A and B are shown apart, each in its own frame.
Chain A
Amino acid sequence: MTDSRTTTGTAVPPTDAHPLLEVRGVTKGFGGGRRRLTALDGVDLRLDRGETLGLVGESGCGKSTLARVLLGLERPDAGTVRYDGVDPFALRGKELLNWRRRVQMVFQDPFASLNARMSAADLIGEPWRTHRDVVPDSKAREKRIRELLSLVGLRESDAHRYPNEFSGGQRQRIGIARALALDPDLIVCDEPVSALDLSVQAQVLNVLSELQSRLGVAYVFISHDLSVVRYISDRVTVMYLGKVIEHGGTENVFDRPQHPYTAALMSAAPVLDASRAAHDREIQLKGEIPSPFDIPSGCRFRTRCPRAEDICATAEPQVVVRESAGAGDDHTALCHFPLEARSAWA
């Protein structure tokens, strides 16, 4: 776990062919019969050590369910999840408990994710009550709490304060410190800055980047804010109604989106700099996201897609790789008529 960490310098480049996280064909549904909700449908993902994967999508896309699957809180109905080759859902007892150290989560709501009756020190140290071997005695515990507080930019004196005495940004830092307590390889960040003020957002984003370069921890960063995702992610996955509809390096996906939905997202997101190119091609989507109980046949995006044709209703699209993608530059989309294939882009 600690072998690929460096204490200084930049993020650790992937040194082994084994990715940290590999997800293949994960499917998860809830309920039964006619009220069956398919939250995830054949999702593939890959994440290397020290990398950040941005996960983008609107409501009903399944990103929360995916986060829970990655954390081992939900068992997928089909497909595999592998951390360094290990399947957490095949583990039991002590092995499972030890595995849990590798993946942690930072939640969206800084207040609701902290038990208001526990002090900051209690909150940060809570994971050690289940994993007693991580900190052998109370002195080590105190020391580690001090270290973690300092890592996230809080003071030593903050250890004994309660959540309601902290601001939103500070609470989120406590949440991050708690997620670091077990020294994880991967932290799933579920909209970690959405509930924060803008000026505080930047602070917390800095904390997260800093921690990545210091500790080499990988992130799955879920957010609806595209500018934040662009800033912090190395690669991006776009989801719609339970499927991955586009995936690739951040610049590629943002500057040359292949899927109409991605392009629509880019153009819908308000931008500060009005001269940004994406807005010249504003794609307006009609209607709203269909109910996940009633997913359209064929391509699930066709009901809102301005480029939909007959085949989109009858046949499910296959994964296509961007034509101009170089080797090792994986940029894929799930579409019959990906944008670049149709027209010549400047």
Chain B
Amino acid sequence: MTTAPAPAPSTTGPALDVEGLCVDLSTASGTVRAVDGVSFSVRRGRTLALLGESGCGKSMTALSVVGLLDPAAQVTGGAVRVRGEDTLRLSPAERRKLAGPVLSIVFQDALTALNPVQPVGRQIGEPFRIHRGLSRRAAREKAIELMTRVGIPEPRQRAKSYPHQFSGGMRQRLLIAMAVALDPDVLIADEPTTALDVTVQAQIMRLLRDLQDERDMAVVLITHDLAVVAQRADDVVVMYAGTVVEKGTVREVFSAPRHPYTLGLLDSVPEDAERGQPLPAVPGSPPELSAVPSGCVFQARCPLVRERCVRERPSLRATGDGRSAACHFSEELDRD
């Protein structure tokens, strides 16, 4: 075990840089590729959304970044760089040093992410005890400070309570408190508000934004909700069947998508649809990971599909300044 601390944060360059990440998963039907060559980067102070439906690999990508993959899954390629180091090449001990001060994650289900038999004050104080070597009392004070910051009323008393004694929204705030405790460079939020009521969702997302601005964090937001991306993210990476199909800023990608899947998703949202008219639905469902076609991953559901798409998988090509899409025919989507 090394005693050297984690390297200092760089002031230039992205806080998180994922390059060509590949993850294989052992399943009943053999080994499948759950994440295939995913690359993206996030700078401090910006929010990147990993957008996609179930099975697209977004959660696996996030778990690979923080090193929490299921034993059935294995990273088989690529690099994940934080503070200049590739975390995939580090030893488990060195990786552990990064968890908290550099990288942290907020999960969807706070009830299972928190230890049900420990008071929350102790759980929130734990990162301080582990990484900064604080005493129990000092860690507790820090915990109360954090709880105040995230908006838990009467934090001193409530530090003694157990997770099940809080409401869903409060629990999510606790998770966020734990995640930002050591001022990480990168915060990954995996569907943080899916299980919450709409008004509570708004509060939580606002809290995340405030914390992000305060601490200049990079946030990776994993979600399947287009509206959340539209409102809360700066950049978006659209994933499908384990690959990235489109990347760019939210404003550009959502106003002028260059991949048929992105377009299909945007059209499926009932927001501006007229009642009585059917929604333009993308037919079919995402493919089984064991049956991903060798050409373009979206060929089975794509309205623009041609022979070339079946033959050759498109790679990410630039479609503008700082944006790219993996489609042979993205020019055809260029509307006005």
Asked if chains A and B are in direct contact (CB within 8 A), the reply is yes
Q: Given A199-B264, A288-B200, A206 and B224 touching (CB < 8 A)?
A: no
Q: How distant is B164 from chain A, measured CB to nearest CB, in Å?
A: 14
Q: Name the one of B198, B225, B265 contacting A265, with C-beta atoms under 8 angstroms.
A: B198
| In the complex, B273 has a CB within 8 A of chain A | yes
Q: Take A199-B265, A224-B197, A226-B198 as given contacts and tell me if A269 and B227 are in contact as well, using a CB distance cutoff of 8 Å.
A: yes
Q: CB-nearest residue of chain A relative to B230?
A: A272
State whether A197 and B227 are in contact (beta carbons under 8 Å apart), knowing that A271-B271, A272-B266 are contacts in the complex. Answer: no
Q: Does A59 contact B (CB under 8 A)?
A: yes
Residues of B within 8 A of A200 (CB): 53, 285
B276 in contact (CB, < 8 A): yes
CB neighbors of B among A238-276 (8 A)? 250, 264-265, 267-274
Q: How distant is the Cα of A307 from the Cα of B158 in the complex, in angstroms?
A: 29
Interface string of A172-207 (1 = CB under 8 A from B): 000000000000000000000000011111110110
List of B residues within 8 angstroms of A274 by Cβ:
230-231
Residues of A within 8 A of B53 (CB): 197-200
Give chain A nearest CB distance to B153 CB in angstroms.
8
How many residues of chain B are within 8 Å of chain A by beta carbon? 44
Contact B231 A273, beta carbon cutoff 8 Å: no
Chain A hits for B227, CB < 8 A: 227, 269-272
Interface residues of A in 1-35 (CB under 8 A from B): 10-11
Flag the segment in A37-45, A94-102, A228-236, A338-346 that touches B. Answer: A228-236
Would you give 27 A-B contacts (Cβ < 8 Å), ordered by A? A58-B199, A168-B54, A169-B285, A198-B225, A199-B53, A199-B281, A200-B285, A201-B268, A202-B280, A202-B282, A203-B282, A203-B283, A205-B281, A206-B278, A213-B276, A231-B270, A232-B270, A264-B199, A268-B198, A268-B202, A269-B202, A270-B225, A270-B227, A272-B227, A272-B254, A273-B271, A285-B203
Enumerate chain B residues within 8 angstroms of A168, measured Cβ to Cβ: 54
Closest to A229 in B: B270
Task: Give the chain A neighbours of B282 by CB distance below 8 A.
Answer: 199, 202-203
Residue picked from B206, B226, B270, B282, most chain A C-beta under 10 Å: B270
- Whether A210 is near chain B, meaning CB under 8 Å from some CB there, is yes
Q: Size of chain A's interface in residues, with CB distance under 8 A?
A: 43
Let me know if A209 is at the binding interface, CB within 8 A.
yes
Contacts of B119 in A (CB 8 A): none
> B272 contacts the other chain (Cβ, under 8 Å)?
yes
B residues 246-298 in Cβ contact with A at 8 Å? 254, 264-273, 275-276, 278-283, 285-286
Whether A321 sits at the interface, judged by CB under 8 Å, is no
Q: How far is the CA of A234 from the CA of B286 in the complex (A)?
A: 32
Known: A200-B53, A272-B266. 17 other contacts (CB 8 A): A11-B276, A198-B269, A199-B281, A199-B286, A224-B198, A231-B273, A232-B270, A232-B275, A265-B198, A268-B202, A270-B201, A270-B225, A270-B228, A271-B230, A271-B231, A285-B203, A288-B169
At the interface, is chain B mostly helix, strand, loop or mixed?
helix
> Closest residue of chain B to A57, judged by CB?
B197
How many Å lie between the Cα of A285 and that of B200 in the bound state? 9
A270 near B230: Cβ-Cβ < 8 Å: yes
A-B pairs, 8 with minimum CB distance: A231-B270, A202-B281, A270-B227, A58-B197, A268-B202, A197-B53, A202-B268, A202-B279
Residues of B within 8 A of A314 (CB): none
> Are the CB atoms of B198 and A58 closer together than 8 Å?
yes
Task: Please report the C-alpha to C-alpha distance between residue A342 and residue B273 in the assembled complex, in whole angstroms.
Answer: 32
Residue of A nearest to B194 (CB): A194
Contacts of B167 in A (CB 8 A): 288-289
Q: Which residues of B contact A228 (CB under 8 A)?
A: 270
- What residues of A have a CB within 8 angstroms of the CB of B103 in the complex? none
Alpha-carbon distance A50/B226, docked complex (angstroms): 31
Which of B206, B228, B232, B270 is in CB contact (< 8 Å) with A202? B270
- Chain B stretch 152-209: residues in CB contact (< 8 A) with chain A: 167-170, 197-203, 205-206
A148 to chain B, nearest CB (A): 20
CB-CB under 8 A from A269, the residues of chain B are 198, 202, 227
A167 at interface (Cβ–Cβ under 8 A)? yes
Smallest distance from the beta carbon of B201 to chain A beta carbons, Å?
Answer: 7
Tell me whether A288 and B170 are in contact in the complex, defined as CB-CB below 8 angstroms, given that A169-B285, A206-B281, A274-B230 are known contacts.
Answer: yes
- In the complex, what residues of A have CB within 8 A of residue B264's CB? 199
Whether the Cβ atoms of B199 and A198 lie closer than 8 Å is no
